[in-house]
Structure 1
């Protein structure tokens, strides 16, 4: 590091803005431990911020604002200099960030797949006809019904523990959760089956943790850049470009998943009707430096198939 830079910009304390849910706190503490291991002279503290998404638990997200409900108050804290960085599950981060903020670092992705947890250890293909499956995601609902139209989908929200309890109290046969969250919370042994992307494409950014900062904050950037994972960041650039073109949020059934193999990037995307009867799919391969263009091109292609009509119907609701 340039000595002049160090003397002017180096900071020795970092405040992480985070939601107070068990998974959010795990992620924030994980980032805290990585940063303190990287910098012996750095002290990191957590600032818990209750978001609108945490306060509203009895209404589907699609009816109250979507993804931004889990980031808005934390971002406001960043802009007011009440915290120095925000740690987010990338699947919760809207496509457009507030002016003055930037996604500076994307950490290495955990397992991005969706996981089935069933009461009797039955896999998706083994669930009885008419089985009740709990999920709060339109994306998961659409793909479940496309694969198993006989299933009965039960809407649910809440953290991992709450949903596991509801599986018992509401007598559900199974629930769908993100494998990454279960693994991070030490509950990977509860997973009956990780559903392959060929059956259920993940949501954009699922399994990845991002760090949001103020723009032009070199002291903070110097402390966090070591956590950047280039391959994950590149994949998410493609996924978020796909979602941005489709104006996709949690209120629409859109799946997208990108992977990096050396200098090549592959992306798959899906848009479906809420009843699972219409599914449009796309995929493409390109150079990693063209991630944004590749995601955008695939989104245009799927719109050309007719997915735009489905999205218009959903948005107009």
Structure 2
């Protein structure tokens, strides 16, 4: 690597929201240590930042990613950092997800003023969320409550609970952690067994161009966590196999332990009247695959084989959900 290349900043494209800036800042700091190059944030305004309509009305599909990807392809930045749960399953030509860092807490959190558990909130309690999946889950767990469709950043949502406008909001635990949000409000962590979350929740995706410089790709590869990548590959393959958008009322959460991967997936009726779920554990044969490779090229091939096995598992789970009637519950994914 030449001296000029080593010193040229890596340009990281990011949304302007406080959470996006915080997420990008974590990745930038890690990448600076690995690459020895400065990383500068390039703020980009996405449609999701300017369109204040409900996510359920505008579909949610790619609303936070499209403008950023256009900037990346146009050479306005070198890499992007996304919340993986906001990414459509189809990756545009010319782009690759080069790294999925270690996953944060994938759970949802209920925020209230007094710590009343979600299922004990009184009739008429107002619970704020803009996610069709969370709306369906609330209608199952707190049937007497009223769901309020909301948008806005974390601080504005917390403020609506503090003021008494809402009795509770549901947020991603990872977002609260990355922002370092401090509040006197009470929180209830929702267990993933009973309350699975969106495919990729808690995970970040670092995206770059397919023809990015080899030294940049190598540095990004060091940010990648294999267990996270395999788990989110399974989850996103379930979403892909259902042919549903990333705002569909469905959940999928996978955990990789050794050679085994366990995936819990549920598809919800938006009204909360019906749900179809699967809890599957299968082997990825990682030990066998690893024993047949020793060179760098073999290691790369092993990673591709494992990723393919993870994707096939997710597609299989989706197929089984469809066979049980999930097609009647999820809206079909619409092209951009």
TM-score by length of 2: 0.87
Q: How far apart in 1 are the matches of 2:186 and 2:234? A: 28
1:135 aligns with 2:129: yes
Hey, what does 1:286 align to over in structure 2?
A: 282
Alignment equivalent of 2:166, drawn from 172, 179, 198: 172
Q: Secondary structure at the match of 1:300?
A: helix
Alignment of 1:108-147 (within 5 A): 108-147=102-141
Deviations 1:1-45 (A, max 9, x none): xxxxx45996542000000000000011111111112233x0110
What 5-or-longer segments of structure 2 have no aligned partner? 285-305
**Displacement of 1:129 after TM fit?**
2.9
Superposition deviation, residue 248 in structure 1 = 2.6
Q: Distance between the aligned counterparts of 1:206 and 1:44, measured in 2?
A: 25
Q: 1:165 and 1:66 mapped to 2: Cα distance?
A: 24
CA–CA separation in structure 2 for the residues paired with 1:251 and 1:93: 10
Kindly tell me: are residues 206 and 129 of structure 1, through their superposed partners in 2, closer, same or farther at Cα, counting changes over 3 Å? same
Give the whole-Å Cα distance in 1 for the aligned partners of 2:79 and 2:271: 40
Q: Which residue of 1 aligns with 2:92?
A: 98
Shift of 1:97: 1.6
Q: Go from structure 1 to structure 2 and tell me whether the alpha carbon gap of 1:46 and 1:263 turns closer, same or farther (over 3 Å shift).
A: same
Offset of 1:287 from its aligned partner?
2.3
1:303 matched residue in structure 2: 322
1:215 lines up with 2:234 in the alignment: no
After superposition, the Cα gap between the structure-2 partners of 1:31 and 1:212, relative to the gap in structure 1 and judged at 3 Å, is: same
1:231 to 224, 227, 233: 227
**Alpha-carbon distance in structure 1 between the residues aligned to 2:332 and 2:202:** 29
Contact in 2 for aligned 1:144/1:200 (Cα 8 Å): no
Distance 1:148 1:139, change over 3 A: same
Instruction: Give the whole-Å Cα distance in 2 for the aligned partners of 1:85 and 1:307.
Output: 36
Cα distance, 1:169 vs structure 2? 4.4
The offset of 1:313, in angstroms, is 8.5
Structure 1, unmatched stretches of 5+, are 1-5
Indicate the residue corresponding to 1:20 in structure 2.
Answer: 16
Whole-angstrom distance in 1 between the partners of 2:124 and 2:245: 29
Could you tell me which of 195, 204, 226 is aligned with 2:199?
204
- C-alpha deviation, 1:273, in angstroms: 0.9
Residue deviations 1:123-148 (CA, integer Å, cap 9, x gap): 22332233211111110111111122
**CA separation of 1:157 and 1:268: change in aligned 2, threshold 3 A:** same
Alignment match of 2:74 (pick from 80, 100, 104): 80
Matched, 1:258 2:254: yes
* Moved >3 Å (runs of 4+): 6-12, 188-191, 312-315
CA contact (8 A) 1:283 1:298 kept: no
Say which is worse superposed, 228-237 or 285-294, in terms of deviation. 285-294
Partner of 1:159: 153
CA distance in 1, matches of 2:170, 2:113: 12
Q: Are the structure 2 counterparts of residues 204 and 9 from structure 1 closer, same or farther at C-alpha, using a change threshold of 3 Å? A: farther
Match in the other structure for 2:301: none
Say if 1:122 and 1:192, in contact at 8 Å, map to a contact too: no
**What is the alpha-carbon root mean square deviation over aligned residues?**
2.0
Q: Does the CA-based 8 Å contact 1:61-1:250 persist in structure 2? A: no
Q: Output the CA distance in 1 between the equivalents of 2:3 and 2:310.
A: 35
Q: Distance in 1 between matches of 2:230 and 2:173?
A: 21
Q: Which moved more, 1:140-149 or 1:19-28?
A: 140-149
Aligned with 1:50 (options 12, 36, 45):
45
Closer/same/farther in 2, CA of residues 191 and 68 from structure 1, 3 Å limit:
farther
Alignment of 1:2-17 (within 5 A): 6=1, 11-12=6-7, 13-17=9-13
Asked whether the equivalents of residues 17 and 85 of structure 1 are also in contact (C-alpha less than 8 Å), the reply is: yes
Structure 2 equivalent of residue 3 of structure 1: none
